[in-house]
Amino acid sequence: MMGTLAHKHALVTGASRGIGLAIARALADEGARVTLAARDPVALQEAQLAVGRGAHALTIDITDGEAVQRAFADAVQRSGGIDILINNAGQAGSAPFVKTDAELWQRMIDTNLSGTYHCIQAALPHMLAQGWGRIVNVASTAGLSGYRYVAAYCAAKHGVVGLTRALALELAAKGITVNAVCPGFTETDIVQEAVANIMRKTGRNAEEAKAELAAHNPQGRLVQPDEVANAVLWLCLPQSSAMNGQTIAVAGGEVM
């Protein structure tokens, strides 16, 4: 049987692992043709095989606006357009604010916020031309509240939430919805890096470090990538057209 998203082409950034790969699988399971985009060609090839169903791989650095335009143009030519854009690629860097130098600050903005901007700029013309589209930005609970020692990351993710809301209003009458999903601490490579950082700075073991992160979630656990993917999938369905400009926290009640 054909899925609800049959005949739709979805492009997912940061799709080689973690949340991005889970989203790509969920969209493919629902019938979409999926292009997986990321920087690491080896990891992308493995993800492409994992998703199957004719998924394509696209090696890009989303911080390079011109490269994004070229790569998205190729994807449009190959697949006839981009109906669904999932801006999942991101990076987290931590430091006390007084030690947050200009390089760290700019890297967080370039990857998490400007990268989202570049991808929307490249995908939006086709959506406008056809009068239909779904844009889902994977932000973070850090885009809805503050966390210590990640000021640059929080600022960038707050920017993603602001961009989501502004663009949702601008496109509301054009058949295109723009929403954000805001995961809490999720069992991904980024969280593994956070665990390693806690261990290095505090001397705690891996189990204790992971428990510290899980404690942010009232359910006392880390979110799983598939749980985030399910929320993203729902926002992409044709039946979800009334969902626009929303920031949905997938965090067990951490943010309400």
Active-site positions? 153
User: Per DSSP, what are the bridge partners of residue 183?
Assistant: 250
Phi and psi angles of residue 11, each rounded to the nearest 5 degrees, phi first: -115, 125
DSSP label at residue 17: S
Cα(252)–Cα(245) distance, rounded to whole angstroms? 21
Check the CA dihedral 247-253-254-256 and report its sign.
positive
Phi and psi angles of residue 181, each rounded to the nearest 5 degrees, phi first: -110, 130
Torsion of Cα atoms, 124 then 32 then 40 then 179, to 10°:
50
